[in-house]
């Protein structure tokens, strides 16, 4: 089971793979159950994992930046109410 496969949530590369997976499932209604589309499915998972790791890295960097700004304000003598 994949997470949400909506096109606006993924990169162009992943959207192409998702499209190929959907087409494979349409063309192979019964053979998909014995693994005909597994190669494409694996590629989709790898692409989505790369996206997730990149997003996590960006969020971590943004969090570190917010933390630095917060501590800089605290060192300047701001109190919680003055922020």
Distances (CA, A) of 69 to 6, 21, 35, 59, 65: 35, 44, 51, 15, 6
Q: Identify the top-confidence range among 44-48, 69-73, 78-82.
A: 44-48
What are the residue boundaries of the structural domains of the chain, listed by start? 8-78
**Residue-averaged pLDDT of the chain:** 88
pLDDT of 80 over the 70 cut: no
Report yes or no: 31 and 57 within 8 Å, Cβ to Cβ: no
């Amino acid at each position: 089971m994949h997470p949400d496969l909506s096109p606006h949530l993924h990169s162009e590369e992943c959207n192409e793979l998702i499209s190929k997976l959907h087409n494979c499932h349409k063309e192979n209604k019964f053979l998909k159950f014995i693994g005909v589309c597994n190669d494409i499915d694996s590629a989709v998972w790898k692409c989505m994992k790369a996206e997730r790791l990149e997003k996590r890295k960006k969020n971590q960097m943004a969090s570190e930046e917010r933390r630095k700004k917060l501590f800089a304000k605290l060192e300047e003598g701001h109190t919680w109410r003055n922020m």
